[in-house]
Amino acid sequence: MDEKTLIRRCQDGDREAFRSVVESHRRAIFSLAFRMLCDESAAKDIVQETFIRAWQGIRRFDTSRPLRTWLYTIAVRLCQDALEKCSRTEPLPDEPLPDLISDQSPDRRMENSEMAAVIQSLTQRLSPKQRLVFTLACLESLETKEIVRLTGLTADQIKSNLWQARNTIKEQLKRLGYE
């Protein structure tokens, strides 16, 4: 069944069709939320909230638009709110990164906890906006055009935030003794 038919069925209240939507997009939404929040439980909550909101608003959804972008938009907003709350807390003390950086076998599957530790360590000094742009551009490998659509920021704002984010992370790496 193609995506448009699936969405139309969801708009008619078909919960099984919506289950298919959840199954298709849950990993992508989780990945985004996890990379932004560096917390498995919080990321799962974001996934759940994203799909609840999507279900509630499914009838307003324009089927000519890609569903993934719409779900990402909801998730990004939820993550931003969560990051805003987190930013009020003090940054963690600098700790050495896991072996990941010096790992000589890049094919090794990283554990979620390893990944979270590295991202958290690198991005903890970024502002919520810088963190958002860094995650979307570098970790999710989204194009600028798509980030503009998701965040509402302009292309220049995105470039500026990304440049600042990378500088801050490089300083952090130096502080940790890696560069």
Partner 1 sequence: MNKISRPSSDGKLDQIISRLSAQQPTLPCADELTDRIMQSLPEQLEAELPAKPKPMLRRWAVAASIAALFCLSVAAATITYHVVNKRQTATEPAKEDLTATQQPTAVMEKTEEGCQEEILLPEDITFKNQTLAEIARQITAIYGCKVEIADQETAALRLYFNFPKGSTAKDFVKIIDDYETLAATIDGDTITIKRQEAEQ
Q: Which of 100, 125, 128, 164 binds partner 1 (CB under 8 A)?
A: 100
119 binds partner 1 (CB under 8 A): yes
Q: State the minimum distance, in angstroms, from the CB of residue 34 to partner 1.
A: 4
Q: Are 165 and 134 in contact (CB under 8 A)?
A: yes
83 binds partner 1 (CB under 8 A): no
179 binds partner 1 (CB under 8 A): yes
Choice between 90 and 153, CB closer to partner 1 = 153
CA angle 133–136–139, rounded 5-degree value: 115
Q: Segment contacting partner 1 (CB under 8 A): 64-72, 76-84, 88-96, 109-117?
A: 109-117
Q: State the minimum distance, in angstroms, from the CB of residue 140 to partner 1.
A: 7
148 in helix, strand or coil? helix
Q: Are 172 and 134 in contact (CB under 8 A)?
A: no
Q: How many residues does the chain have?
A: 179
C-alpha separations of 23 from 3, 17, 105, 106, 109 in Å: 13, 10, 31, 29, 23
Q: Which of 27, 46, 89, 177 binds partner 1 (CB under 8 A)?
A: 27
116 in helix, strand or coil? helix
Question: Closest by alpha carbon to 100, among 84, 112, 85, 83?
Answer: 112
64 binds partner 1 (CB under 8 A): no
**How many Å apart are CA 98 and CA 85, to the nearest integer?**
26
Q: Which of residues 28-47 bind partner 1 (CB under 8 A)?
A: 30-31, 34-35, 40, 43-44, 47
Sequence-ordered list of residues with C-beta below 8 angstroms from that of 154, at least 6 positions apart, any chain: 148
Contact footprint for partner 1 (CB under 8 A): 13, 15, 18-19, 22-23, 26-27, 30-31, 34-35, 40, 43-44, 47-48, 51-52, 55-56, 58-59, 100-101, 103, 106, 109-110, 112, 115-116, 118-119, 122, 137-141, 143-146, 158-159, 162, 166, 169-170, 173, 178-179
